Structure 1
Amino acid sequence: MLSSEIFSLNVSKSSLNARAILPDFALDKVNDAIYLVGHDSRLVYINNKACEMLGYKYQELIRLSYSDVEGELQDPDVAALWWKLSLRPEGIRFTSQHRMKNGEIIPVEVSSSVYEHQGQNLVLCVVRDVRELRQRTERYLQQEQQFRSLVENSPDLIARFDTQMRCQYANPLVLELTGCSEERARGWRLTDSIPFDEVGMRLFRLVSNTLASGEKSEAELEAHYGKRSMVLHVRCVPEYDLKGDIVSILAVGRDISRLREVENEVRAAHYQLRLLASKQQQQSEDERKHLAREIHDELGQHLTSLRAGLSLIGMQASSPSQVTQQVDYLMTLIDSTIQVVRDVSTRLRPNMLNMGLVPALEWLRDEFVKTSGCSCMLIVPETKPVTLCDRAVTTIFRVVQESLTNISRHAQASKVSIIVQASRDALLIQIRDNGRGFQMQSVRSDAFGLLGIQERMDMLDGQVTINSQPGEGTQLELTLPLSAKKP
């Protein structure tokens, strides 16, 4: 045992005379097994790590020869070659297998170099147990295989670029769409491979932004591969090394062409529904208009004629009191019927709608004041008349009517104002009240009054804005582009 001796270790590969003092306890602190082997393969020295690695006690292991541990050295030719190579200034490094006490064979990495002691050459073997390294390597290879299997079978386009914009990897779908082989794709420069059009430059900027900012970037690109067109949602993600430096950019493109087609189909279907609803509403309004005219003109005229006839009967009678009394009763009943007809006709469609927006709003204001007892002020442009088509006038009238109905039912307001402002491009109508207001977040999504207002304005490409706070009243603002006045 050399525990009481001082060894001189050759630490320079260019000179065997440069020596360093290496105490025995220092060799026991290293994580690698150390053998000092003589020319006859005997073990001159072993450290504690060697005993732990092979499962021997010190006295058991020191009695063995190196060939008992390293089975390949039992062949004299192999042993002679190993000794010769180990005596070279640069030594030798190789992988091998060592036998443990229990017979298990473990993989090791051996570094052998010459060690001169008291005039004789020995071989210093530094042995590293690579079982854990191999396990980590196998796990890494397994994870790499799983990653490749996932990426290569992914329906997404996946490519990796280094910091010089060179392609490091492209999955089979990218290669298939671009018609490129894997060997040819590796090393591609993004600046050389993409077309210099809008889509290509947007992809280049996307990767560049990720490289510069260190943050993910995403965008939608419309790509063309031969006759095939695709809408791709592309996301670029930076990849870092252990030092925190960006080493590559992973670009993932997902084909969302079908999703966009479905969205367009839904949008077109919604537009068709809006057209249908608009047509049905217009038909309903036309029917109301027709019914109101029929009731007002035909039935009202007949009742008026009947009343006139009864009046003549009353005047022509020889003044019998019963005839006069009966005629007065019938005339009163006819007057009441005429008023009912007028009320029904007005509810179906007020005659004021045929005179334009401002007269219709004035009538609506007067009716609101009469029925609610709340003061209402109407402000309209004095210099420029508001001229709209019948459809637009009817829509605005119904929206204002619905708004005043809501105020009457829920707002508990004492003052209401309706302000009409007209510019060259749009008509703005504000309806304000000083009622109790409400929390905007508490409005139900299925509130039919608000939905009806919104839908009516949508049909004219208009906008509805509602602002309200508890205790501060409510403001409803309608914006109608004047292009909508065209039927």
Structure 2
Amino acid sequence: MLSSEIFSLNVSKEPYNGRAILPDFALDRVNDAIYLVRQDAQLAYINNKACEMLGYNYQALIRLSYSDIEGELQDPDVAALWWKLSLRPEGIRFTSQHRMHNGEIIPVEVNSSAWEHEGEMLVLCVVRDVRELKQRTERYLQQEQQFRSLVENSPDLIARFDTDLRCLYANPRVLDLIGCSEEKARGWRLTDSIPFDEPGMQLFRLVSNTLASGEKSESELEARFGERAMVLHVRCVPEYDLKGEVVTILAVGRDITRLREVENEVRAAHHQLRLLASNQQERTEQERKHIAREIHDELGQHLTSLRAGLSVIGMQSKNPARVSSQVDYLMTLIDSTIQVVRDVSTRLRPNMLNMGLMPALEWLRDEFVKNGGCSCMLIVPEGKPVALSDQVVTTVFRIVQESLTNISRHARASKVSIIVQTTRDALVIQVRDNGRGFQMHSVRHDAFGLLGIKERVDMLNGQVTITSRPGEGTQLELTLPLKNQAYFPSATRDAG
């Protein structure tokens, strides 16, 4: 509202007939419409903003009375009350509606105050067109309604806090969960309301960090509401004013309890599948072991007995030459059969596995050198051997066996080394070659040899890493946890 002191500096000494009462340069720059109104509601002065706002030219508008613009003043009682209130020292401020030249009614905000000029009492009306403000207000209210409709029907927990950590808003999901009314929740301080346990302090740190840094923060909270345990993913987002300062913090919590339960169920199912696969593999190894023993012991013993019997027959025959020839042939056939039995038994499960890991690896090294024509160095710990379960020994043996098979088929290596190390809590096996190597990303998805190695290691809670580059060879490193802690210096055993 403009004061009379401002206008007193610009009042013309000329009689106030038309535009001469106030200079244009003083008031035409004002963004509000300005009227000077006599007691009979006639207009004594108007500025250009008034003409622009109502759609009149100056001559047409100055001939109207204020009641033609302000329709409510056509009632004498209302006009008398308006005049009386406007003459008070503090004037009057109110919202109203003014009629434009085209008949359209527009919302305005009016400040009326007394104005005395050359002995006559006038009313100075400063009128502001609030259509744009009203539209902005309506848009804001509409957006606020949309926001409320969204958050109040959201399954998420949504709350808004000011910079003093007082709650400005909490959606029904929050209120239902904590058992609180909207009136009671509005204004409660986060520091006074959260429980002083780990989830409560974690929520406090999230909101505080967002307020201090001006950046979003998120975390998972495990909270209990009555008898209900929940896992919440909470995300705090800063909200800024036009100056770029943080004024509120919006906290959104999503219930991911069921998601975590499903993940645990999947993890448990995967663990069960691994146990099943491990059990199946162990049963397969036991069956191989049993078949190999039966082939080696029973069938081999029978064939040996048969060979001995044939020898006796040959020595007791009346026609030694002829019988001896047949016996020699049968004995050669039996020797060949015995060797086949031994080979089949060895392929199923080498007897060396029953003697422990180190003898089994030495046998595997010797077989690789004999069949592959490549030198291979085995480095094993000296001293008292580490106590390993049959499952661990079999797993290590099969992985090294698979590695050596891959080397002989693909690596074109001239040197191979197998290094066995023990730490306080782990057994470490390394298989290295100086072959042609390969690109790790080019390994086929159906390379079940590598997948089998990884699955065997996973069953024992171990780790396996394979590194290779073209022209730089390949290294496989296997780490298995040990329950029995031991440490041995290493020794080198070479072959090739």
Partners of 1:461 and 1:484 within 8 A in 2: no
More deviation in 120-129 or 214-223? Answer: 120-129
Describe the SS at the equivalent of 1:483.
Answer: coil
Change (3 A) 1:38 1:321: same
Q: Which whole-Å CA distance do the structure 1 matches of 2:213 and 2:472 have between them?
A: 47
The equivalent of 1:19 in structure 2 is 9
Partners of 2:466 and 2:477 within 8 A in 1: yes
- C-alpha deviation, 1:320, in angstroms: 6.8
Code of the residue aligned with 1:283 in structure 2: it is R
Change (3 A) 1:157 1:484: farther
The equivalent of 2:240 in structure 1 is 240
- C-alpha deviation, 1:34, in angstroms: 2.4
Q: Which whole-Å CA distance do the structure 2 matches of 1:373 and 1:23 have between them?
A: 113
Code of the residue aligned with 2:293 in structure 1: it is R
The equivalent of 1:340 in structure 2 is 340
- Measured against aligned partners, the alpha-carbon deviations of 1:90-118 in whole angstroms (never above 9, x if no partner) come to 32221111112222211111122333444
- C-alpha deviation, 1:192, in angstroms: 1.3
1:221 aligns with 2:221: yes
Partners of 1:158 and 1:171 within 8 A in 2: yes
The equivalent of 1:7 in structure 2 is none
The equivalent of 1:193 in structure 2 is 193
- C-alpha deviation, 1:185, in angstroms: 1.2
- C-alpha deviation, 1:316, in angstroms: 4.3
Partners of 1:162 and 1:249 within 8 A in 2: yes
1:70-469 maps to which residues of 2 (within 5 A)?
A: 70-317=70-317, 323-469=323-469
Change (3 A) 1:304 1:439: same
Code of the residue aligned with 1:19 in structure 2: it is L
Change (3 A) 1:120 1:446: farther
More deviation in 173-182 or 291-300? Answer: 173-182
Change (3 A) 1:204 1:339: same
The equivalent of 2:494 in structure 1 is none
- C-alpha deviation, 1:314, in angstroms: 4.1
Q: Which whole-Å CA distance do the structure 2 matches of 1:98 and 1:12 have between them?
A: 23
Q: Which whole-Å CA distance do the structure 2 matches of 1:47 and 1:333 have between them?
A: 129
More deviation in 194-203 or 300-309? Answer: 300-309
Q: Which whole-Å CA distance do the structure 2 matches of 1:124 and 1:445 have between them?
A: 87
- C-alpha deviation, 1:362, in angstroms: 0.6
Partners of 1:392 and 1:484 within 8 A in 2: no
Q: Which whole-Å CA distance do the structure 2 matches of 1:484 and 1:18 have between them?
A: 102
Q: Which whole-Å CA distance do the structure 1 matches of 2:6 and 2:457 have between them?
A: 96
Partners of 1:411 and 1:437 within 8 A in 2: yes
Cα-Cα RMSD: 2.3
- C-alpha deviation, 1:208, in angstroms: 1.5
Q: Which whole-Å CA distance do the structure 1 matches of 2:23 and 2:310 have between them?
A: 140
Q: Which whole-Å CA distance do the structure 2 matches of 1:290 and 1:433 have between them?
A: 34
Change (3 A) 1:484 1:282: farther
What TM-score do the two structures reach when normalised by structure 2? 0.90
- C-alpha deviation, 1:296, in angstroms: 0.9
Give the unaligned 5+ runs of structure 1: 1-9
Q: Which whole-Å CA distance do the structure 2 matches of 1:321 and 1:333 have between them?
A: 19
Q: Which whole-Å CA distance do the structure 1 matches of 2:206 and 2:283 have between them?
A: 52
- C-alpha deviation, 1:46, in angstroms: 2.6
The equivalent of 1:5 in structure 2 is none
The equivalent of 1:67 in structure 2 is 67
- C-alpha deviation, 1:26, in angstroms: 4.7
- C-alpha deviation, 1:89, in angstroms: 3.4
- Measured against aligned partners, the alpha-carbon deviations of 1:115-134 in whole angstroms (never above 9, x if no partner) come to 34444333332222212211
- C-alpha deviation, 1:72, in angstroms: 0.8
- C-alpha deviation, 1:138, in angstroms: 1.1
Change (3 A) 1:446 1:200: farther
What TM-score do the two structures reach when normalised by structure 1? 0.91
Describe the SS at the equivalent of 1:301.
Answer: helix
Partners of 1:439 and 1:470 within 8 A in 2: yes
Partners of 1:358 and 1:386 within 8 A in 2: no
Q: Which whole-Å CA distance do the structure 2 matches of 1:247 and 1:450 have between them?
A: 56
Describe the SS at the equivalent of 2:34.
Answer: strand
- Measured against aligned partners, the alpha-carbon deviations of 1:322-346 in whole angstroms (never above 9, x if no partner) come to 5544444333332222221111110
Partners of 2:232 and 2:256 within 8 A in 1: yes
Change (3 A) 1:384 1:20: farther
- C-alpha deviation, 1:419, in angstroms: 0.6
Code of the residue aligned with 1:250 in structure 2: it is L
- C-alpha deviation, 1:275, in angstroms: 1.1
Q: Which whole-Å CA distance do the structure 2 matches of 1:148 and 1:443 have between them?
A: 54
Describe the SS at the equivalent of 1:237.
Answer: strand
Partners of 1:96 and 1:110 within 8 A in 2: yes
- C-alpha deviation, 1:279, in angstroms: 0.9
